[in-house]
Amino acid sequence: MDTKINKTNGLTENENDIELCFKAFIIDRKSQNLAKGTIEFYTLKLNRFIKYCKSKSIYRMDKITPEIIRLFLLDLPNSEGGKAAFYRSVKAWLLFFENEFEPENYRNPIKKVKPPKKSVEPIEGISISDFNKLVECCDNKSFFGIRDKTILLVLLETGIRASELCNLKIEDINFIDSSILVKCGKGRKPRYTFFGRKVKKQLRLWLKTKNNNSNALFTTLQGDKFVYSTLREVIRRLSKKAGIDTTGLHDFRRTFALQCLKNRVDIQTIARLMGHSSLQVLTFYLKQSKNDIGESYQSVVENSTY
């Protein structure tokens, strides 16, 4: 491709090319040693945006306008979380373009586009009664029953992310101080989370039952390491067996956060246990639903002396 300098913006045609700029952005994110899931997130979102731009005959970075970004967001399925995810990806990409190539007389269009508003409705987790139903579906005699029960207990006890659970190794479990080392959390930040007596007993039982040479904590019967889709299928199968709506893998984290709050664990500690670098993200987990508030409510008048 011709690399002559454009007199208007000081960019070469390569630098201004929408596809080549995308590839440069992905290389930059990989060089920062971001998690594989994060790279896949950017790739999926930006490929869709680039495809939309091309459908509007836009092939150059300096031709992306605030209007195009807004029309793209409007064209997406009506999911607040989904729209916000696309917005964040496009914003990161355009900021990279601006900072990396420093185009002359460039006005970054993302700075004029407000992010999609997200609902303030509470995020529902799994109820304790539904959790108990899932556990009751697991016997403590078979390979699958013991494994699946252990997974359920660890998910709720630690608030660990699904991907983090899949990556756990046997060596990450410390039975002396009842801790689990999450070596590679979000942002590749390690942290410790902890478990109580019941979970310790279940983990010991699982390790006796596991009976394969894999160093992965949770495996299939053949000894293969768990992946996200495997874990999701386990929860889907148990939910169906328990006769409840399919539980989302993230629902355990929200319930963990709320239960910690009810147990009077301070918010800073909850954030550290969950691997959040700020309290802002944690607030989404701690928004109380009507049922949560009702369970915590105590009548003021009943305790009065009138």
Res 121: pLDDT: 63
Superfamily of domain 13-112: Tyrosine recombinase, N-terminal domain (1.10.150.130)
- Please choose, from the candidates 177, 216, 169, 218, the residue with its C-alpha nearest in 3D space to the C-alpha of residue 196: 177
Radius of gyration of the chain (CA): 24
DSSP track, the chain: ---PBPTTT--BHHHHBHHHHHHHHHHHHHHTT--HHHHHHHHHHHHHHHHHHHHTT--BGGG--HHHHHHHHHHS-S-HHHHHHHHHHHHHHHHHHHHHH--TT---GGGGSPPPP---SPPP---HHHHHHHHHTS-SSSHHHHHHHHHHHHHHHH---HHHHHT-BGGGEETTTTEEEESS-GGG--EEEE--HHHHHHHHHHHHHH-S---BSSB-TT-PBP-HHHHHHHHHHHHHHHTSPPPPTTHHHHHHHHHHHHTT--HHHHHHHHT-SSHHHHHHHH---HHHHHHH---SGGGS--
pLDDT digits (tens, 9 = 90+) for 95-105: 999 999 888 88
138 in Cβ contact with 155 (< 8 Å) = no
> Domain residue spans in the chain?
13-112, 128-296
Res 208: pLDDT: 94
Res 1: pLDDT: 44
Per-residue pLDDT of the chain (306 residues; tens, 9 = 90+): 456 677 566 788 888 899 999 999 999 999 988 878 889 999 999 999 999 999 999 999 999 999 999 999 999 987 767 898 999 999 999 999 999 988 888 999 999 999 988 766 666 788 999 999 999 999 989 999 999 999 999 999 999 999 899 999 999 999 999 999 998 766 667 899 999 999 999 999 999 999 888 999 999 999 999 998 999 999 999 999 999 998 888 889 888 988 888 888 888 888 888 887 766 666 766 666 656 666 665 655 665 555
Dihedral pair phi/psi, residue 219, rounded to 5°: -140, 170
Res 171: pLDDT: 96
How would you write 238-267 as a 3-class SS string? Answer: HHHHHCCCCCCCCHHHHHHHHHHHHCCCCH
Give the CATH architecture of domain 128-296: Orthogonal Bundle (1.10)
Dihedral pair phi/psi, residue 70, rounded to 5°: -65, -45
Identical fold for domains 13-112 and 128-296, yes or no, is: no
Res 202: pLDDT: 96
